[in-house]
Amino acid sequence: MEAQRIDADEIKRRVSILAVTGEVVELRKQGHEWKGLCPFHQETTPSFGVNPEKDGGVYHCFGCGKGGDLFSFVQEYRRVDFPAAVEYVAERYTSGHFVTREATRPAPRTPEPAPDLRAQWRALLPLIDHDRAAAFGCLTPETDSPAAAYLRTRGISPMFPLVSGVKYAPRWCPAGGVGKPAVVFPFWNRQGCLVNLEGRCLDGLFLLPDGRKERYLSARGGRKKEGVFLTPEAFRQPFVVLVEGAVNALSLAVCGVPAVATCGASNRPEWLPQACRGKVVYTAFDPDAGGEAGTVELARALAAAGIRSEWFKPPEDGIDWNDCLVTYGQNALRRALADVFPHLRAFGR
C-alpha cells in the first residue's frame, strides 16, 4: 500500500488526542474531560485535563499553563518542532501509512502494510464462539466497559489497553459452557497477523463442560505458541522486555517500559529470537518455577541465535509485575525500574 499524502488537519481528524496523551499520562474520566498528573511539571493533585471533543481535541494544565492540541503535546513532550511532531503522529498512530506535506525531513523507509485488524477480528469471531458469532461491535475497546474498570483496579490506565488492541467481550465462551464477561487480549505473529485471543474472566472463573474451572481461556483455534502481545513501541526500542501475560506487559508499559508478552512462560514463538536481533533482551518472567524454567529455555534459544539476555525480577520475591504495580504504585515501581532503564530517571519522581 502506498503512503497517502495528507495534511496535518486530516491526521488530526483521524487520531484521538486521548491516544497520544494517554500513553504518557494516566487519565481518568471526569465529566467531558479526562484528568491526570501533568507530565510537564511535578504535582501531586491532577491539574492536567484533556477534552477530546473541544476544537478537535485539546489539553490544558491549570498548574503550569501549558496547553494545545495533540501536535503541540508531542512538540512539548518530545521536544521536537511542528513538522517532526506531525510526522511522529502520522507514523505512530496511523500505522505509518500517511506522510505529510509539512514534513521537511527525509521520508522514513516505507513501512510494511499494517494488517487489517478489524477484518482479522471478524474472521476470528466464529472461533471465539461458533454458536453466537456476535457483531464485531461487542469486542470494541470501550473505555467505560467492565474490562477498563477491571484494568483500572490493577493500576492500568485505560488508554494503554486501548492502543494495544485490548477488547471487551460480554460473553466469552470459546470452549463451550456458560459465557462470561471477559477482557480479551490479542496476540500477533511476526507478520502482524492475529493468531490468538486470550480472555480473562471478569466474573469468577470460566466453567468448562468437563467441569474444569479456568481464569484464562484462549479462542478456539488460537495458536498460543505463535504470537505475542505487544504494548506501544515494544519492538522500537534498543531493548526488548519479555514477560509472561498481557497484564504484566501493560503494567510495565504504564511505568514507561514497553514490553512484549508471551501467552505463558512456556509458549515461546520460534520467531522471537530473530525479532530480538541487535537488541538488549531482558527476560522478566514471573518469579516462580514456571517462570524460571521459561527463562532458562528462552535464554538458550536466544544464545543459540547469538543474543545475550538478562533476567531481571520484580522488586519483591514471589509476586508478578502487576502485583508490584498494585502494591507499590506506578511512581515507586518506575523508580525501581530506573535502575535497569535509565531513561525513566527523566521522570524525576
pLDDT value for 322: 95
Mean pLDDT of 233-255: 90
> Comparing 261 with 84, which gets the higher pLDDT?
261
Within a domain: residue 156? yes
* Ranges 52-61, 78-87, 278-287, 302-311: which has the least confidence: 78-87
Q: What is the pLDDT of residues 6-42, one digit of tens each?
A: 468 878 887 889 888 887 788 888 888 899 889 888 7
- Say if residues 321 and 243 touch (Cβ distance below 8 Å): yes
Within a domain: residue 110? no
Asked whether residue 240 falls in the same domain as residue 341, the answer is yes
What does the alpha-carbon distance between residue 257 and residue 150 come to, in Å, rounded to a whole number?
21
Asked whether residue 337 falls in the same domain as residue 234, the answer is yes
Q: What average pLDDT does the chain have?
A: 79
Highest mean pLDDT among 99-103, 111-115, 137-141, 312-316: 312-316
Within a domain: residue 59? yes
**Beta-bridge mates of residue 184:** 167, 199
pLDDT value for 139: 56
Domain total of the chain: 3
> Comparing 287 with 106, which gets the higher pLDDT?
287
Asked whether residue 238 falls in the same domain as residue 343, the answer is yes
- Say if residues 43 and 37 touch (Cβ distance below 8 Å): yes
> Comparing 251 with 111, which gets the higher pLDDT?
251
pTM of the predicted model over 0.75:
no
pLDDT value for 345: 64
* Residue at which a domain ends, from 223, 246, 268: 223
Owning domain of residue 290: 229-347
The full length of the chain comes to: 349
Q: What is the pLDDT of residues 78-133, one digit of tens each?
A: 777 888 788 778 767 654 444 434 443 333 333 333 334 444 444 444 444 333 33
pLDDT value for 94: 59
pLDDT value for 145: 84
Question: Which helix (H) or strand (E) element contains residue 127?
Answer: helix 117-128
* pLDDT of 333 higher than 70: yes
Asked whether residue 134 falls in the same domain as residue 27, the answer is no
pLDDT value for 6: 47
pLDDT value for 183: 92
Mean pLDDT of 165-178: 80
Within a domain: residue 145? yes
Asked whether residue 129 falls in the same domain as residue 187, the answer is yes
* pLDDT of 250 higher than 90: yes
Highest mean pLDDT among 103-107, 191-195, 330-334: 330-334
pLDDT value for 311: 86
DSSP class of 174: T
Q: Tell me the CATH number at 240.
A: 3.40.1360.10
- Say if residues 71 and 89 touch (Cβ distance below 8 Å): yes
Residue identified by cell 495533540 is 70
* Residue at which a domain ends, from 48, 65, 100: 100
Q: Tell me the CATH number at 14.
A: 3.90.580.10
CA 281 to chain centre: 18
Joined together, the cell numbers standing for residue 14 give 483521524
* Ranges 88-102, 103-117, 149-163, 169-183: which has the least confidence: 103-117
> Comparing 87 with 187, which gets the higher pLDDT?
187
